[in-house]
Amino acid sequence: MLIILYLLVSIYILFIKKNSKFTWLLVAGIIAFLSITTNFYADLDNYGPLFDYYNSGYVDINFSTTNFIWALLCKLFYMFGFNYRGMVIGLIFINYYIMHMAAKKLNCNENIFFGLFMIFPAIIQLVQLKFFTATALVIYAYSFLFEDNKLSIVKFLLLLGIAASIHSSNIIFLFLIFARKNKFNNKAFFSLVIILFTLIITLNLNSIINISQYFVSRQQYSRYFVNTITPSSNLWIILIFLSWLGCYLVSLFISKSQVFEEETNKFFSKHIISITLLLMTIPLLFIDRNMHRFLEVGYMILFIMSGFWLKDRKMNKNRIIIMVLLIFVLFFNAYVYTPYESTIKPIFSYDGFVNIRR
C-alpha cells in the first residue's frame, strides 16, 4: 500500500502537477512519513547508536575529527528533545529545502527534478542519511559555480568544507570546481582515468589501504579501511560503470536534442563536464564497493539539466524519447543500488508509527 502511495505521488509530480516552489515540501513529507512507519531499516543500527554516543554524558565532540558537524547536529536535535528517528525527519526536510534552493538558483523545473529524484536515489538517500545531508550541501555549493565572480568560488569551497565535516568522503567533489571551464580535454581526461585504473589494479590493495592511514583520522581508517571494507566484484564494477554511462549519455542527448542559445549550451556543457569528472571515482571501487555512492551526485546534476531543459514542460518526440530513456536508466539504477530485502521491503512495510521523541 505504501509503495502504491509513493508511486502515485511520483507520477503526480512528474506528469500532472504544475511546477511549484513547494514540491520539495510534498516530497520531503512522503519520505519523512515512510521513515516513521517502520521500526527498522538498513543503517539504523549504525546511526542510532552513534547519535546516542554523541549525547552520552561522558562524550565530548572531538573537533580534530572531520565529522564534527554531524556530531553537532546530533547534539542539537537531542537538545530539542528528539531521538535519532526525530533527527531523521528534521534532516529530511532540511535536505530537501537545500536541494530546492539549488534547483531554484539554477532556474530548474522542480517537479522534474524531484520527480526524477523520487525514482532514484531518494530511497537509498533516506538510508544513507549522513551522506545525503552532505551531498545536499554539495549540490547547493555546486550551484554557485554558475556565477561569474570570484566570491562564488569561496562560497563553493566553504559549503564543500561543511559537507566534508558531515561526511568526509564528500571532499572528493572538490574536482567539480573544474565545471567552471567551458572547454574540456576529453582525451587527456579519459587517459587519466585509464592510468588510475591501471595504477590501482597494479598496486597491492593492502598498500593502498596502508597509504590511506596518513590522510584520514585513526577512527576513520579503522571504520572504512579495516572493519567494513568490501571488495568489488567484476560484475559490480561493470554495473556501476553502466550506471555512469547511462547518466553521461542522457546528458549528451539532452544537450544535442535541439538548437540552444550560446548561454544554454555553456550551462549544459558545465553539467556534462561535472558528470564526466565523476568517472574518476569508479577506480575507487577496487578499494571498496561502497564508493559507488558518489555517482548519485551525477544523477542529481542530470536532474538539474532535465529540469532546466523541461522548464516549459512542452513535449515533442525527442523529449518523450529522452525522458523514457532517462526513466529506464533510473529504474536500472534503483534495481542495482537499492537492495530489496534490506532497504525497499522494510521502508515500504508498515510496522506502526515509531516514537521520534527521546
List the end-to-end C-alpha distance of the chain, in Å, as a whole number: 29
> Each residue's pLDDT tens digit in the chain (358 positions)?
899 999 999 999 998 888 888 999 999 999 999 999 999 998 898 888 888 888 876 555 554 455 789 989 999 999 999 999 999 999 999 999 999 999 999 999 999 999 999 999 999 999 999 999 999 999 999 999 998 888 999 999 999 999 999 998 899 999 899 888 766 666 666 666 776 666 666 655 555 556 555 555 555 555 555 555 677 788 999 999 999 999 999 999 999 988 788 889 889 989 998 998 898 888 888 878 888 999 999 999 999 999 999 988 787 888 899 999 999 999 999 999 988 888 899 999 998 899 999 8
Distance from C-alpha of 304 to C-alpha of 112, rounded to nearest angstrom:
8
Distance from C-alpha of 9 to C-alpha of 170, rounded to nearest angstrom:
30
Q: What are phi and psi of 357, to 5 degrees?
A: -105, 145
Q: Are 173 and 138 within 8 A, CB to CB?
A: yes
Distance from C-alpha of 338 to C-alpha of 346, rounded to nearest angstrom:
12
DSSP assignment of 282-301, as one string? GGGGGT-GGGGGGHHHHHHH
Q: Within its chain, how far is the Cα of 356 from the centroid? A: 25
What's the sign of the alpha-carbon dihedral 88, 93, 95, 96? positive
Distances (CA, A) of 17 to 75, 97, 159: 38, 19, 32
Q: Which residues pair with 353 in a beta bridge?
A: none
